[in-house]
Amino acid sequence: MSASRNPDGDVALWRLLAYEAKSVVKRRLASPGTPVDPPPSPYLVVPILGQSNAFGMGLGIDPDGLDRTHPRVHQYAMSGPSKGTVVLAKDPLMHEIPGYGVGFGMTFAKALAEETGRHVLLIPGARGDTSFTPKNGYTWDPADTRTRVNLYVNGVRAIDAALRLHPGSTVAAVLWHQGESDVPLMSGPTYREKLDSVVDDLRARHGADLPFILGQMVPEEMELSRKDYSVIDAVHADTPNRKARTAFVTGARGCVNGELDRHYNAEGLRAMGHGMWAAYRQMCPDDLAEYARE
């Protein structure tokens, strides 16, 4: 058994057990969320799915300024003592394990709430270092029934639970950021097939024209890594050509946490949120007008 970390696949069993034990501790130590009153009208629901940049790794949180809460932006907690309930949304969000830093979801949600006057419910369903390829017991593949934890299935269950809690709510858009962990593990055509299956399944559940917005992987990571990111980056960029009502948002340069941590920082993830919002606003003006009237 190798004791070294293999970033391109499963870790040694003892490391995996230690990693899972840390996840359990993080969930148990998480603080409860701030309770909120039910909104006067149904929510606009926005799931956040993918790996670390969707999870929110941005350093430089500004809780009283750029990252302050919004009274009409809530979250369906997926971890901690508030799990399974709706609480006020704030970075770090309550993903499958409690979040780490700033993500792009809050920026998008606050813009949606301001534009429509509606309450927005985020579904934070991301987890770092996860892929369509089964890795360390996790997968995003909707068709995978064998891997220990199917994060896509978990996300779908959370969306359904939130809709049951608040009947009449609408899944307004899905925000997706993932692909880094699949780069060395999956071919471009296979990745495209898996990504399209996510779009198709979500649309079968929540409407044939459900908007789906993808963020680009970090430019510096793609350039400086020894792995070939270009294939999956091209699949992401081509998604609007394959699927109507999808958008691909490029990432900001010079916005990483550091030389050794090439995740987007807080500035970069806010920029991603603004980019996702701009793409959604351009793509879905009729939806926005309808939501504002309701």
Coil vs helix vs strand at 40 = coil
- What six digits make up the tokens of 260? 């050794």
Write down all domains in the chain, each with its CATH number in brackets: 32-293 (3.40.50.1110)
Q: How far, rounded to the nearest angstrom, does the alpha carbon of residue 181 sit from its chain's CA centroid?
A: 15
Q: Residue 201: phi, psi to the nearest 5?
A: -70, -40
**Residues 94 and 26 sit within 8 Å (Cβ to Cβ):** no
Question: Cβ contacts of residue 260 below 8 Å, gap of 6+?
Answer: none
**Residues 93 and 57 sit within 8 Å (Cβ to Cβ):** no
Task: List per-residue pLDDT tens for the chain, 294 residues long.
Answer: 334 456 678 877 777 776 676 766 677 667 888 999 999 999 999 999 999 999 999 999 999 999 999 999 999 999 999 999 999 999 999 998 887 899 999 999 999 999 999 999 999 999 999 999 999 999 999 999 999 999 999 999 999 999 999 999 999 999 999 999 999 999 999 999 999 999 999 999 999 999 999 999 999 999 999 899 999 999 999 999 999 999 999 999 999 999 999 999 999 999 999 999 999 999 999 999 999 988
CA–CA gap between residue 155 and residue 147 (Å, rounded): 15
CA–CA gap between residue 203 and residue 28 (Å, rounded): 34
Question: Cβ contacts of residue 69 below 8 Å, gap of 6+?
Answer: 88, 89, 90
pTM attached to this predicted model: 0.94
**Residues 140 and 96 sit within 8 Å (Cβ to Cβ):** no
Coil vs helix vs strand at 30 = coil
